[in-house]
């Protein structure tokens, strides 16, 4: 049986509530120990984010679950033809911040879509690459004829783990022990980096009869976990030997007093490795697929911070694969770092921008610092 072509025929996004400026962040997330953060301005100056979105009120109360936001993004794909959702064969949902450990994020999203039929649902986990893994599953299902109409999503609701009360018990314990009553930088760093939101792709074995579609030429990924220790982690604590101690191996009191369930980042490990490893793989992909920089009309790298932009450019330039900045498309400053949804949000904005012309190609790069994984994809406008 011949393989089918795979097309993205529509995109949608859901960003909760009003945009939040840099100066408003602590109004939503709260002050730890009642004091303004000392690191917030430093982190924001380096990451270049101006606006982000939180599924929170200004009092820090949740307004949406991750699954609700994802379902709203899915519904956005069918605004012109709501009944088309009944033709859906597959729902593939990636996130690193599910609302619960069980049931899966995908089936919880499906639960908010009563207008859909009983269908196959999958939920790739991970960090930023989870959204791309969901995308690849949908791509392969259509390519092999296992599905004809699929939705892939990427979403995050990080804010619930960034609010101040998550860290209050830890800072109180530190004060009692007469130690510095502030959480470590590996925890506070991510409070100023992460955002909420969801986005979705409608995927089919047939392109649109009118208007533009995006043909998925290929998707591939790689993990370097065989040689790298964990860099970004949650519900665990990093041991001196680099291994992770699971939340299951802490007492309930320790989980609270040491904010074990918070998201942590080994910032030095990130800075030293995230770009070199991703650059190494993109060089291999260019060589394997016979690609040259001039073959790429739009380069969409997911970056967590503007700090990495020049570093990515420099390493690609050093390999002779440099793509000029005028062909880069990044919306980090205006939507924030939405993890598994970030690549979707870039494609969504560009797809609806009116800029695209048939024949143009988009190269997607999504790095994941969890234990250094990367996903790459090429799309052609048609």
Q: Cis ω on the peptide bond leading into residue 103 (within 30° of 0)?
A: yes
Q: Does residue 183 register a pLDDT over 60?
A: no
Q: Does residue 125 register a pLDDT over 90?
A: yes
In the predicted model, what is the mean pLDDT of residues 51-66? Answer: 96
Q: Does residue 24 register a pLDDT over 50?
A: yes
- What is the reported pLDDT for 168? 66
In the predicted model, what is the mean pLDDT of residues 141-165? Answer: 96
**Banded model confidence at residue 187, pLDDT cuts 50, 70, 90:** confident
- What is the reported pLDDT for 251? 97
Q: Can you tell me the distance from the alpha carbon of 175 to that of 210, in angstroms, rounded to the nearest whole number?
A: 64
CATH 3.40.47.10 domain residues, the chain: 7-164+180-211, 218-239+266-381
What does pLDDT average to over the chain? 94
In the predicted model, what is the mean pLDDT of residues 291-302? Answer: 97
CATH 3.90.1150.110 assigned to domain 218-239+266-381? The reply is no
In the predicted model, what is the mean pLDDT of residues 262-282? Answer: 94
- Residue 16: CB partners within 8 Å, gap ≥ 6? 53, 54, 55, 63, 64, 69, 196, 197
- To the nearest 10°, report the CA torsion of 323, 326, 329, 330: 100
> Based on the number of CB atoms within 10 Å of its own CB, is 87 exposed (0-12), middle (13-18) or buried (19 or more)?
middle
- Tokens matching residue 57: 């009120």
Query: What is the H or E stretch that residue 198 is in?
Result: strand 197-204
- Tokens matching residue 334: 């205006």
Of all residues in the chain, what percent carry a pLDDT higher than 90?
86
> Of 26-35, 100-109, 227-236, 346-355, which gets the smallest average pLDDT?
26-35
- Tokens matching residue 232: 């970004």
Give the length of the chain.
382
The residue among 65, 56, 139 whose CA lies nearest residue 108 is: 65
Check: CB of residue 82 under 8 Å from CB of residue 74: no
DSSP 308-333: GHHHHHHHHHHTT----GGGB---HH
Check: CB of residue 222 under 8 Å from CB of residue 228: no
- Tokens matching residue 127: 């960090």
| CA-based radius of gyration for the chain | 21
Q: Can you tell me the distance from the alpha carbon of 11 to that of 147, in angstroms, rounded to the nearest whole number?
A: 18
Q: Does residue 39 register a pLDDT over 50?
A: yes
- What is the reported pLDDT for 347? 98
Q: Does residue 170 register a pLDDT over 70?
A: no
The fold adopted by the segment(s) 7-164+180-211 is: Peroxisomal Thiolase; Chain A, domain 1 (3.40.47)
Query: What is the H or E stretch that residue 347 is in?
Result: helix 342-351
- What is the reported pLDDT for 281? 95
For residue 14, CA distances in Å to 8, 11, 163, 183 come to: 18, 11, 21, 32
In the predicted model, what is the mean pLDDT of residues 223-244? Answer: 96
**Residue 142 C-alpha from the chain's centroid:** 23
- CA angle 286–309–329, rounded 5-degree value: 75
**Banded model confidence at residue 172, pLDDT cuts 50, 70, 90:** very low
- What is the reported pLDDT for 241? 95
Choice between 9 and 166, residue whose per-residue pLDDT is larger: 9
């Amino acid at each position: 049986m011949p393989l089918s072509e795979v097309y993205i025929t529509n995109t949608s996004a859901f960003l909760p509530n009003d945009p939040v400026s840099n100066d408003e962040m602590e109004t939503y997330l709260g002050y730890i120990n009642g004091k303004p953060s000392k690191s917030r301005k430093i982190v924001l100056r380096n990451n270049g984010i101006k606006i982000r979105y939180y599924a929170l009120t200004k009092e820090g109360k949740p307004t949406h679950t991750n699954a609700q936001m994802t379902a709203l993004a899915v519904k956005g794909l069918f605004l012109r033809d709501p009944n088309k959702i009944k033709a859906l064969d597959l729902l593939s949902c990636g996130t690193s911040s599910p609302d619960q450990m069980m049931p899966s994020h995908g089936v919880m999203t499906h639960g908010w879509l009563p207008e859909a039929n009983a269908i196959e649902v999958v939920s790739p986990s991970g960090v930023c690459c989870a959204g791309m893994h969901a995308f690849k599953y949908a791509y392969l299902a259509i390519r092999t004829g296992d599905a004809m109409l699929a939705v892939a999503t990427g979403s995050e609701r990080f804010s619930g783990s960034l609010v101040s009360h998550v860290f209050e018990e830890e800072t109180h314990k530190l004060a009692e022990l007469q130690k510095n009553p502030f959480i470590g930088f590996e925890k506070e760093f991510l409070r100023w980096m992460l955002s909420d939101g969801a986005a979705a792709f409608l995927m089919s074995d047939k392109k649109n009869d009118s208007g533009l579609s995006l043909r998925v030429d290929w998707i591939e990924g790689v993990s370097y976990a065989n040689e790298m220790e964990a860099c970004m982690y949650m519900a665990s604590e990093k041991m001196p030997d680099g291994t992770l101690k699971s939340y299951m191996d802490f007492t309930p009191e320790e989980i609270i007093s040491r904010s074990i369930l918070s998201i942590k980042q080994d910032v030095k490990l990130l800075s030293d490795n995230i770009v070199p490893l991703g650059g190494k793989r993109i060089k291999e992909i260019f060589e394997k697929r016979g690609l040259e920089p001039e073959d790429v009309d739009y380069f969409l790298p997911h970056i967590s911070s503007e700090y990495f932009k020049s570093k990515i450019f420099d390493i690609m330039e050093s390999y002779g694969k440099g793509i000029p900045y005028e062909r880069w498309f990044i919306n980090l400053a205006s939507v924030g770092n939405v993890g598994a949804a970030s690549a979707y949000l870039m494609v969504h904005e560009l797809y609806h921008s009116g800029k695209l012309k048939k024949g143009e190609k988009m190269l997607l790069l999504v790095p994941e610092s969890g234990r250094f994984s990367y996903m790459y994809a090429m799309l052609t406008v048609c």
